[in-house]
Structure formats: C-alpha cells, structure tokens
Structure 1
Amino acid sequence: DDQNAPLAVGAFLLVAGLSATMSSGDSDAVTAVTILLRDVVQMVTGKMPRKENMILLSRVGLFSVLGLALLGALVSDTIIGYITMMISTILSGLFVASVFGRFWKRATWQGGLAAIVGGSVVSLVVQANGAWTEFWGNSVIPALIAASVLCVLVSLVTPRTRVSSEEALRILAEERSEIDAGTVLAAEEPDQEK
C-alpha cells in the first residue's frame, strides 16, 4: 500500500513516542511527589516530614499521583483530549499564578492558590456543559479569565507579602536543608583556608 510507512519506520516512531512519553511521565511523577512532600505537606501541617518517614511518604505520594493521572486518562477518549483537558484544567490557573506572582508585587500566595483552584473549577464546569464547550471551543479561555480575576481579587483582600525575595530564598533553603542530606546553608559553610 502506497499510503502506509514501512513497518520498521512505524515501529521506530512508536518506540520513540513511547520513550518520550515514559521519560516525561517519570519526570512529572517525581516532580509531583517532591512538591507534595516538600511544599504541600509543609503548608498543611506547618512542618516538613521527618526524614525517617520519607520513603513511605514518597511511595504513598507516588501511588496517589499516578492514580489521579490514571483516573484522568480513563476519563479521556484520546491522548490529545487528555492533554487538552489537563492544560485547560491545571495549567491555566498555574500560568496565572506564576505570571502574577512574578510580575505583580501585590500578588499573594492566597491569590495564587485561588487562581489555581478557581481556574480548575471553571475549566471543569465548562467541560461538563456541552453548550459552553461548543461556544468556547476549549475551556482554557474562561479558565484563564476566572483565574486572573480571582488572583487579583483575593490578592487585594489578603495582607501584602512582607517577605523580601532574599528572605524567601533564605527560608526556602532552610526548609530544604531540613530534609536534604548534604545541603549546606551559606551561613554554615566552613571557612576556606587560603
């Protein structure tokens, strides 16, 4: 048949695609578990997880993250549909939180959280309503609008961030040094003899 690629080319492309997918999935899962254990647990409990519990917590976190990803994949009909759904649902709010957090000095963490949650909720609501999906074509535009509005409103009604960028980096380094073996803070570095 003139319209089909040779079997070897098709097999090569399939293996290349699977390799890229597995590599990305592996990196994404590791990143998600790291954020979950270092940032989310610390934000919820007010302290970092204990070192001796990290392996168990990492396994539970990985199982949970992969379970959520599998659930999302089972809901979608195609890979492109899954990617589109995830981008509009999760990344729209994350984009707004990142851009506002970087360029708007009045942005607060509460505003960023409102952008992420609000953008996701609006995206899911639009996707669940056939007429809205038909009108918008994709839920990313209403999700971006809602996330932006929520980020601004919530940031304006919550107290300003009083921590400077340098102070935030120092706090982050201290928190990470509690968990990471071998991390040395700048203030703790031994004097180098010349």
Structure 2
Amino acid sequence: MNTTHVIVLVAYVALMIAVGAWFGRKKATASGEDFVLAGRSLPAPVIGGTMLATFVGSGSIIGGANFAYTYGLLPGFLFFTGTIVGTILLIVFARQVRGVAGHTVPELFDQRYGKPVRIVATVMILIAFIGITAYQFTGAGYIIGLITPLDEQTGAIIAAVLITFVALSGGLKSVAWTDFLSAAGIVLALWVALFLVVGVDVGGVSELGAVNADAGVLGGLTVIQMLGFILPTLVLLLGDQNMYQRLAAAKSDRAALLGAVIFCLGSVIMVVPVVMLAVSSALLQPDIEADMAVLSLSGIEFTPAVIGGALLAGAFALIITTGSSYLLTCSSNVVHDLVGQLRSRPPNGAQNLWIGRLAVLAVALLGFVMVNFFPSVLALQMYAYTMYGVTITPVLLAGIFWKRATGPGALAALLTGAVATLYWEISGRSAELNSVIVALPAAVLALAVVSLLSHRRVPTDVKVP
C-alpha cells in the first residue's frame, strides 16, 4: 500500500463529498427540475466538462485501455473514432437537441410516437444504463484494490456506496460540477504520466508501433470486427440521454453549443494519452490483466508517487461521476416515464425528488448484481452500449429528422434491436463478432419498413420536431 496514493484518493473523496453536500442543500436542490436538469443553469465550461466526464469513465480508462493493450496502437485509436465522430455530430445538432430535449428521451418519444413507445423505450434505457452503471462499480473497485489492502469486490462495494451518495445528494448540479473538476484533474494526470512513461520507461513513441505489429494493421481483427468495436460508442453517444439532458441543462443555446465544442476537444485530448499509455503498458507489462493496462502504471516503478496517486484519483473521479450520471438519468426515467405515467395524478416537485432518490438506490443494487455476469469491463461495455445504441438511437434520430417515422415503426425498431442484441449475446456469438453488427441494421430496417407500411398523413395540428 502506497501512503501517498491513499492520501491523494482520500483528499479526492473528501472533495466529492463536500461538493455533493453543498449542492444537496435544500436551497440548491429544491425540486425535481433542479435534481434532473440543474435548474437549466449550467455554463458552457461545466457543460463540456460534465459531458466529457460522463462519457469517459470505466469504458475508456479500463475498457478502451484493455482494447489498445490487446490489439495495438492503430486499433486503439480506431476504437475511439466513434467517440470523436459522435462529438462532432453533437456540435452540429446541439441547438436543435436543446430545443426538443425535455427531462428524458422517452418524453420526446411520447410527443412524437405515443405513450406505448415511451414505456417500451424506458425499459430499454434502464436495461442498458444499469449495465453501464455496473461496470463503473467494477472499475472503481480495481482502483481501491490497487491503493489499499482491500480486495476488488470490497472496493466495488465501497465505490457503489460513494457513487450512489453523489447521485442522491444534489442531482445534476452536484454531478455536473464534480464532473468538471474530475475532467480537469484526469487530463492533467494522464498527460504528465504519458510524458514520463513513454519518454522515460518506454524510450520514445516509435517503440509503441511494435506492439502486436506482426498480427497486421488491425491487430488480427477483420474490418467487420473492428467496426463492431467502433459502432457501439458512436450509436450510444448520438442517442445518449445523458448528453441530451446536459445540453438541455445549459443556461442558453450558446452555452449548449460551446459546451459541445469543449466536449469534442476534450475527447481528443483524453483519448491520446489513454491509448498510448495502454500500449506502453503492453510493452512494459505483457502479462498483466488487460483491464489494468493504464491503472497499473501508477506504480512507483513507472511514475512518481504523487503522479501515480493523481492518475488513480483522476481515474477514480471519472468513474465515480460517470456512475453517478447514469444513476441519475435512470432515476429521471423512473420518475417521469414510469411513475409519472402510471399514476392518475402526477407527483409534485417534492414527491418527484424523493421518488428519484429511491430509484437511484434501486438501480445501484441492480447494477451491482449485473456486473457478476460479464467476464470483463470491455465485454459489459460493448453489451450495454449496443443495447442502448441499436434500440434508442435509430428511433430518436428518426423522430427528429424523419417525418415518416411512425409509432409502430418505432416499436418494431425497439423490440427488434433488443431481441437481436440479447440473442447474439446469450448465444455466445459476441465473442467473435460484436452484436451491433447484426442488431443495428436489423433495428433500422424494422423502423424503415414498418414506418413506411404504417405511415399516414400527419394531421396539421400535430407538431413534428
């Protein structure tokens, strides 16, 4: 156990608790609107920081690092192209998204397709987001296991408690501001570690190209297999309810647009050191568990104790805030798309606040159970991203940009995408080819065919976004 690492991590946890407690005050979070959308008050830097920290959690520091460690430098960068392309498209769509975004994506589906689509979409979102929350627990457990004598399972339990606390306290206000601080901290730690590890331990950037080079340009993967790792991130990002909520929480259209730009630039700045550090780890530590590719470089044999501690604390920060964000968005789905629709009299603001907090607890427990059914963070990441991306994203984009999309078409896409993903995962075929390659075309085809067959002239009094 490294005392410096422990001190740095404890200082970070204390800061997160303080920020959560500050925004959890009754004055700062007085209603469901404050809890879910931060009172629509966030400035552009905070929007960009929270979008970055929300999307770059265990999936990047552990899942993406696992991939780069296993397949090499070029495949590692290609893995993240879905993230970069998705952020660019969000810049294009930012103002339009803010104009139509409400509390949740299913709320938009209700306006566009009807209540049945809203309910089914809510179930799909919860299934996917519980998975994304689950692997944040695992990632944070890895870090606690590295820093303390505790095992990874105990660390995951501690992480689950902390993640749940941050989400329960101040809602999006506390999550967004802790995200902003976490994003700044991890970027600094990653780049300092990169210069030390690549420049000193590895001996230069040129050495990194040798990792898995004899397996071919794509590290032994076919083009279709590589696409199977790129697409899940892209389709999740384009339809991610977290991104839409954050754009909706901006204090103005201009803040939303600038926030999306900051998110795009931050993604590039974040991806470069993650990939290069993971590939460096493959050279320096060829026999470690791939999930630990970046985190293990915090050891004093690679980086000074303070830098290693900052790297672990920064990664821990991203994971905590990502987990909190997904817990929070699941909570908003339960409040607005399930309870709010099933009750004859919608809950008031104070009731929504408490229902949301109970939902956070329930989702956290389900996530902790789910994580035990997948062999690695990367495997769970690909499943969760695909489940959301092939069901929600086609329906969402069609609802905004295609006037011929219909309720039956949306239902067909939701169900087809979910069934195809689950079949591919349960049958074990995802070990060779990720399910997105099959499920996404199937969902889009179902949406297009059923919508065209069921399309009727839209009444003039019905607004189509």
Q: Same fold per TM (> 0.5)?
A: yes
CA distance in 2, matches of 1:22, 1:124: 28
Equivalent in the alignment of 2:240: none
Which one of 429, 441, 444 corresponds to residue 145 of structure 1?
A: 441
**Distance in 2 between the 1:57 and 1:65 partners?**
12
Residue 133 of structure 1, aligned match among 422, 425, 430? 430
Instruction: Note the alpha carbon deviations across 1:58-107, whole angstroms, 9 max, x for none.
Output: 13321232233323322222222221110112222112112222222111
Aligned to 2:463: 164
Q: How does 1:1-194 map to 2 (within 5 A)?
A: 3=284, 4-6=301-303, 7-45=305-343, 48-51=346-349, 53-130=351-428, 132-134=429-431, 137-156=433-452, 158=454, 160=456, 162=459, 163-165=462-464
- CA offsets per residue over residues 138-168 of structure 1, 9 Å max, x none? 00111102211222244345565542147xx
Answer yes or no: is the 8 Å Cα contact 1:112–1:151 preserved in 2. Answer: yes
- In 2: Cα distance, 1:44 partner to 1:113 partner: 19
**Are the counterparts in 1 of residues 403 and 464 from structure 2 also a CA contact under 8 Å?**
no
Deviations 1:156-190 (A, max 9, x none): 45565542147xxxxxxxxxxxxxxxxxxxxxxxx
Give, in whole Å, the separation in 1 of the partners of 2:345 and 2:416.
26
Does the 8 Å contact 1:32/1:65 carry over to 2? yes
CA distance in 2, matches of 1:58, 1:35: 9
| Contact kept in structure 2, 1:92 and 1:147, CA below 8 Å | yes
Question: What is the RMSD of the two structures over their aligned residues, measured on CA atoms?
Answer: 2.7
Structure 1 segments of 4+ aligned residues over 6 angstroms from their partners: none
Residues 117, 63 of structure 1: alpha-carbon distance in 2 compared, 3 angstrom cutoff = farther
**How many Å separate the matches in 2 of 1:153 and 1:118?**
12
Instruction: Please state how far the C-alpha of 1:113 moved relative to its aligned partner.
Output: 3.8
Q: Which amino acid aligns with 2:435?
A: S
Which whole-Å CA distance do the structure 2 matches of 1:97 and 1:164 have between them? 17
Structure 2: which 5+ runs fail to align? Answer: 1-200, 202-283, 285-300
Provide closer, same or farther for how the CA distance between residues 25 and 54 of structure 1 changes in structure 2, counting only shifts above 3 A: same
Contact 2:404 2:455 in 1 (8 A): no
**Which is worse superposed, 74-83 or 139-148?**
74-83
Distance in 2 of aligned mates of 1:149 and 1:71? 34
| Structure 1 unaligned regions, length at least 5 | 167-194
Normalised TM-score (structure 1):
0.69
- 1:134 to 1:89, Cα distance in 2 relative to 1, 3 A: same
SS of residue paired to 2:423: helix
SS of residue in 2 equivalent to 1:13: helix
Aligned mates of 1:53, 1:113 — CA distance in 2: 31
Deviation at 1:56, TM superposition (A): 3.6
Structure 1 residue matching 2:372: 3-state secondary structure: helix
2: CA distance, partners of 1:77 / 1:110: 36
Cα offset for 1:27? 1.7
What TM-score do you get using the length of structure 2 for normalisation?
A: 0.32
The 1:87–1:10 alpha-carbon spacing in structure 2 relative to 1, beyond 3 Å, is same
- CA distance in 2 between partners of 1:143 and 1:111 (Å): 16
Identity %: 25
The answer to whether the 8 A contact 2:408-2:451 is kept is yes
SS in 2 for 1:107: coil
CA–CA distance in structure 1, aligned partners of residues 336 and 385 of structure 2 = 24
Distance 1:165 1:138 in 2: 34
Q: Which amino acid aligns with 1:68?
A: L
After superposition, the Cα gap between the structure-2 partners of 1:37 and 1:145, relative to the gap in structure 1 and judged at 3 Å, is same
Aligned length: 163
Q: For 1:47 and 1:110, how far apart are their aligned partners in 2?
A: 28
Take 2:343 and 2:404, find their aligned partners in 1: how far apart are those partners? 26
Amino acid at match of 2:441: I
Shift of 1:128: 1.2
Moved more, 36-45 or 141-150: 36-45
| Contact 1:90 1:116 (C-alpha < 8 Å) held by counterparts | no
State the distance in 2 between where 1:114 and 1:67 align.
30
| Most deviating of 52-61 and 19-28 | 52-61
